[in-house]
Structure 1
């Protein structure tokens, strides 16, 4: 695997730490800024909104830019946004910096994904994306607790300064190891959009959204479920979340190893495992031992599909590498937004924290139906005489 791919993964770690760390800093930030905790929580929503709109817009704006130039520009703006955030005492200025940081983070994801798959052979795309996306997994395991500890001991502004420094270090790595990647020919937005306008691509995006929502609806309320329903002491919650992170790391590593050779099987097994795990979590939510084991499996199955969901669009629409990656980012963030929202509705209706796991199972079943639909849509192409004898040629016609 080229060193540049690992540099991109480390860059995602730096930025992903910022995405996650606010979860452990909300109370302190609320007190310092003079606003309520729910209002401070809207800073997380600002980040999600920035990610959602930033991916397609920046993918189009930078379509003809050298990829290294785009990556460096995104990191520079990301670092600057955190410097401003660390210096301000105005809530709305901080809100704006969260949106801007997420906006360019989404652009970085899109260009980094296209760059990573362009640096490796076709049969290594899934592994490359497991390294890049693994940066966010490491941020879950290391960045989130480290950011929380820094914030608790040195203040939340110190956590922002740390992210800015990590982003600058990532810029050094990108400058040193990532190729310039000048576009060949003249990329046209119309051509990329046309390449994406196929049923398999949109069914892939739908699968990504549903699978992500199925995972996030449970994960978003996991801490509350552990303390309220499982009756775990608050001090034990970080340990269980760490177990989830270990499962996620194992899942993305294994998923990356088999994604290129068995994409359909990887997605089917991963989403099936996520669905069954969610249902079992709902049934055993009051019992600590099974919950801990299921939390590990939740991370493993949930992240095991990530390499395929991130890399498959480059096979289905090779002419749309940049906008395809942007579509992936948007699909993931729709799921990240929709899952917690659905869980919040269920909890607000008085259904209890176990209900979020049932919602996760229902979303998982729906995702499996979309995978089956995609396979049905593309089956005639797979069965045609020209490609019946070659799995390698038939494979790109499938969703995953």
Structure 2
């Protein structure tokens, strides 16, 4: 439930941008700063993860939900863009802590062979938000104004503290007793940082497009505002399908799964650039990009956990940071492109980032060959130490 709410908060702005811009008397590109501010806050996830390494996981999760709720109340009450952006940034800090700890717990409990599937289940809560939370948030925004979804999220976050308090074990995990110096040393693998590059570029490609899905579909493709939640839901179905499905494939062929997904994202966004003025094919191609691109996330995160054995929370927090660095970078570039070239430039920017994504994905495939010291049967310890 926690990742679902936080995923809804992160993505719901995409369906509310025109309403936010109108109410605050700002442009669409300025309203897009709400996406950028949240992403920048998530980039700081590793620093937050280090700060709470000695704090019991349950305590961190509960505090994260409380601060998350408070941040949404602030957004719902203010008319100042600067205050909204600060609140989004602070909310993102605790969201990153929640996501990284939840993913780390899932990977640890499941074991290395099923880590990708377990992480996929954790991430699916956030991705499921694109199917249910974001469309419902868009509808609620149309009915009661864009502030309504923020009030709802604040209330639900407080309710989520009850199951977290009951289900998540108290005390500290074994990884929190490992000295910080040893955990940071585990982050020195070259493969790990190639994975980080892929994390940045995959979200730059997909989220630079999704963050501006409202103007893309309504202004460019001519979709009516009433049907926008349908387009959001279809994208979400693709994203959830990819997130859950890729976890099953990753256990057998992680590198091939990631590279195939990258190729599919390039193709989908390149085609979207050609047909973005037609609503039906645009929505279908967005769903494919969501399936292939966001479906790559649990695969990349499970690779990171393997390559940084002994520091799973730091590894997942780095992934979260890099995913959101990509969102911030992609949304900022796209906002500037919209200001110069209009909504038609949205998928063009995404396709350019997707093309760059193929470089680290192909590099991982090459590094996985026997000559580079990695074989299908190597142990997680070997993955973490070979550099």
TM-score of the superposition, structure 1-length normalised?
A: 0.86
Q: Are positions 1:272 and 2:263 aligned together?
A: yes
In our comparison, the structure showing a higher alpha carbon Rg is 1
Q: 1:261 aligns with which of 234, 238, 252?
A: 252
Change (3 A) 1:216 1:21: closer
**Alpha-carbon distance between aligned partners in 1 of 2:224 and 2:284, rounded to the nearest angstrom:** 17
SS at match of 2:192: helix
Q: Are positions 1:63 and 2:53 aligned together?
A: yes
Change (3 A) 1:395 1:366: farther
**Alpha-carbon distance between aligned partners in 1 of 2:363 and 2:213, rounded to the nearest angstrom:** 31
Which residue of structure 1 aligns with residue 337 of structure 2? 346
**Alpha-carbon distance between aligned partners in 2 of 1:51 and 1:394, rounded to the nearest angstrom:** 27
Deviation sequence 1:262-284 (CA, Å, 0-9, x none): 21121011111111111222233
Which residue of structure 2 aligns with residue 125 of structure 1? 115
Q: Are positions 1:246 and 2:237 aligned together?
A: yes
Contact conserved, 2:206 with 2:293, CA < 8 A, in 1?
yes
RMSD (CA atoms): 2.8
Q: Are positions 1:397 and 2:387 aligned together?
A: no
**Alpha-carbon distance between aligned partners in 2 of 1:41 and 1:226, rounded to the nearest angstrom:** 16
Q: Are positions 1:140 and 2:126 aligned together?
A: no
Map 1:154-169 onto structure 2 (within 5 A): 154-169=144-159
Change (3 A) 1:396 1:14: farther
Which residue of structure 1 aligns with residue 33 of structure 2? 42
Map 1:81-230 onto structure 2 (within 5 A): 81-88=71-78, 91-184=81-174, 186-230=177-221
**Alpha-carbon distance between aligned partners in 2 of 1:363 and 1:159, rounded to the nearest angstrom:** 31
Contact conserved, 1:129 with 1:311, CA < 8 A, in 2?
yes
The Cα shift of 1:396 comes to 6.4
The Cα shift of 1:207 comes to 0.7
Deviation sequence 1:339-397 (CA, Å, 0-9, x none): 222323433443x54444333333223222212223334535666xxx86x62548963
SS at match of 1:318: coil
Change (3 A) 1:274 1:395: farther
Change (3 A) 1:85 1:66: same
Which residue of structure 2 aligns with residue 282 of structure 1? 273
Which residue of structure 1 aligns with residue 320 of structure 2? 329
Change (3 A) 1:292 1:95: closer
The Cα shift of 1:117 comes to 0.8
Change (3 A) 1:82 1:226: closer
Q: Are positions 1:304 and 2:290 aligned together?
A: no
Contact conserved, 2:255 with 2:364, CA < 8 A, in 1?
no
- Higher relative CO (CA 8 A, sep ≥ 6), structure 1 or 2? 2
Contact conserved, 2:245 with 2:295, CA < 8 A, in 1?
yes
Which residue of structure 2 aligns with residue 236 of structure 1? 227
Change (3 A) 1:83 1:394: closer
Contact conserved, 2:35 with 2:211, CA < 8 A, in 1?
no
- The farther-off stretch of 65-74 and 95-104 is 95-104
**Alpha-carbon distance between aligned partners in 2 of 1:79 and 1:285, rounded to the nearest angstrom:** 37
Which residue of structure 2 aligns with residue 75 of structure 1? 65
Equivalent pairs counted in the alignment come to 383
The Cα shift of 1:301 comes to 1.1
Which residue of structure 2 aligns with residue 366 of structure 1? 356
- The farther-off stretch of 105-114 and 158-167 is 158-167
**Alpha-carbon distance between aligned partners in 2 of 1:12 and 1:327, rounded to the nearest angstrom:** 17
Which residue of structure 2 aligns with residue 14 of structure 1? 5
Change (3 A) 1:79 1:293: closer
Contact conserved, 2:17 with 2:214, CA < 8 A, in 1?
no
Unaligned runs of 5+ in 2: none
Contact conserved, 1:230 with 1:285, CA < 8 A, in 2?
yes
